[in-house]
């Protein structure tokens, strides 16, 4: 066994178990800086790490960074073993008409603009029905803040879907939409959300969080939905018993200090409410966003590859024990990078989606759908065990030793969806056929 360097007094107070785990994971820890050693030992011993600690993890390099990644993976495996989940769902963006003018948004259109759309309830229910027939358990519904939307629209939409599909889980309406609808109906957030739950809402996306920092939000969204309002709406949802996801959109005008503070704020909320189901880091897609196009010298074109790795790994470490599902967004990163994230503390691949419009409108080129069969191949390709889950993380089907039914994508693929790499990972039937041929 490799001997470790002598511990300085500042290290000595760290729980012995944390340092032992750190040695078990890394062997010789003498190459690690003392600061990173202390932080990782703290996390491995089950203690929360501070915002300052989080910034240090985001900013570290070399052997320190390798140890951060190993720690994230280890904490992920402690909770989830080798299992990686996905949900079969359909994304329905009922309108892209919106006048809020968020600077990062490539999705919103004005009413008279080419490509502006506003689906009828009939069209939305038909899409949900089609998704149900393809095995979806969830519809994920968000839209722009259309000026003509009645405050009762959101409730009526839930009712229309539930009357056609009583068992479909409705995961819908960002805090921005809740803010908008509650204001139109002059209701408190709690009452408005409770009314939606009664109409069939099952959970809420914690989108529109961007970076929960006033100065950054001022530049991204003119602070129309402030950090305080976002937190108030999320807390209101949790208080009336509605679970939500949590997100962070990074890689534009932000920095590690904002990321660490954002994650710590999510952790504080979770300690009070327990209402977050997962964190989904969303990398900024720059190409169609006004924010980047108007200020290409001041705005970064999305996070670097290293920053993407670090966001998922550091989120796993900072949120450990509080928000234990860290999901990668394949629409932002593409399936190949999403697979790599399964080695950086990630335990979930998100939804199959069927129709993705928000990331595509912002310039993402990673297609609209990954079928369940492809999800399973991606997860196996990372050496993990795939399972299909519900929105709220109950196991629906385990694919340790079988395949989901193969389906053609709902919308014909017009782009190279970066899935050719899956040929490297033959499915179980192909593996068995090859084994049989070899045997005789």
Q: Which residues bind ligand SF4 (CB under 6 A)?
A: 98, 100-102, 105, 107-108, 144-145, 176
Nearest to 315 by CA among 49, 44, 90, 125: 49
| Dihedral of the alpha carbons of 254, 255, 259, 265, in degrees to the nearest 10 | -80
Q: Give min distance, CB of 105 to ligand SF4, in A.
A: 3
Query: Do 234 and 275 form a contact (C-beta atoms < 8 A)?
Result: yes
Nearest to 143 by CA among 205, 219, 61: 205
Judged by CB, which is closer to ligand SF4: 356, or 374?
A: 356
Judged by CB, which is closer to ligand SF4: 287, or 395?
A: 287
Q: Give min distance, CB of 228 to ligand SF4, in A.
A: 17
Q: Give min distance, CB of 148 to ligand SF4, in A.
A: 14
Q: Give min distance, CB of 101 to ligand SF4, in A.
A: 6
Q: Give min distance, CB of 142 to ligand SF4, in A.
A: 8
State CA 211 to chain mean position distance. Answer: 14
Judged by CB, which is closer to ligand SF4: 102, or 165?
A: 102
Q: Give min distance, CB of 130 to ligand SF4, in A.
A: 24
Which positions ≥6 away from 242 have C-beta within 8 Å? 193, 196, 197, 201, 203, 204, 275
Q: Give min distance, CB of 223 to ligand SF4, in A.
A: 12
Judged by CB, which is closer to ligand SF4: 98, or 201?
A: 98
Judged by CB, which is closer to ligand SF4: 291, or 341?
A: 291
Judged by CB, which is closer to ligand SF4: 260, or 291?
A: 291
Judged by CB, which is closer to ligand SF4: 104, or 259?
A: 104
């Amino acid at each position: 066994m490799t001997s470790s360097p002598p511990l300085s007094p500042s290290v000595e107070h760290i729980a012995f178990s944390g340092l032992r785990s750190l040695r078990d994971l890394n062997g010789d820890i003498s190459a690690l800086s003392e600061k990173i050693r202390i932080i990782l030992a703290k996390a491995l011993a089950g203690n929360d790490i501070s915002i300052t600690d989080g910034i240090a993890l985001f900013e570290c390099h070399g052997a320190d960074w390798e140890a951060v990644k190993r720690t994230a993976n280890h904490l992920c495996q402690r909770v989830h073993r080798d299992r990686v989940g996905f949900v079969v769902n359909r994304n329905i963006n009922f309108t892209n008409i919106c006048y809020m003018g968020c600077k990062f948004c490539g999705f919103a259109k004005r009413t008279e603009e080419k490509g502006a759309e506003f689906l009828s309830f009939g069209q939305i229910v038909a899409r949900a029905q089609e998704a149900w027939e393809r095995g979806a358990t969830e519809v994920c519904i968000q839209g722009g803040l259309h000026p003509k939307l009645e405050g009762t629209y959101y409730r009526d939409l839930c009712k229309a879907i539930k009357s056609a599909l009583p068992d479909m889980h409705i995961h819908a309406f960002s805090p921005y939409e809740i803010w908008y609808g509650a204001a139109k109906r002059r209701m408190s957030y709690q009452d408005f959300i409770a009314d939606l739950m009664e109409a069939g809402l099952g959970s809420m996306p914690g989108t529109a969080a961007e970076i929960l920092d006033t100065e950054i939000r001022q530049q991204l969204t003119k602070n129309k939905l402030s950090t305080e309002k976002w937190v108030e709406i999320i807390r209101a949802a949790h208080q009336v018993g509605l679970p939500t996801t949590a997100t962070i959109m990074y890689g534009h005008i932000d920095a590690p200090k904002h990321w660490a503070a954002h994650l710590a704020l999510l952790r504080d909320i979770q300690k009070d409410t327990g209402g977050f189901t997962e964190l989904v880091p969303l990398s900024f897609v720059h190409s169609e966003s006004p924010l980047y196009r108007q200020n290409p010298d001041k705005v970064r074109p999305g996070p670097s590859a290293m920053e993407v790795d670090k966001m998922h790994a550091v989120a796993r470490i900072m949120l450990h024990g509080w928000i234990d599902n860290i999901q990668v967004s394949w629409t932002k990163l593409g399936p190949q990078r999403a697979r790599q994230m399964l080695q950086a503390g990630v335990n979930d691949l998100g939804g199959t989606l069927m129709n993705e419009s928000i990331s595509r409108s912002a310039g993402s080129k990673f297609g609209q759908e990954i079928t369940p069969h492809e999800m399973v191949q991606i997860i196996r390709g990372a050496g993990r065990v795939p399972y299909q889950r519900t929105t709220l993380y109950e196991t629906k089907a385990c694919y340790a030793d079988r395949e989901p039914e193969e389906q053609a994508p709902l919308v014909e693929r017009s782009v190279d969806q970066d899935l050719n790499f899956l040929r490297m990972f033959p499915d179980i039937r192909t593996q068995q056929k090859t084994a049989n041929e070899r045997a005789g």
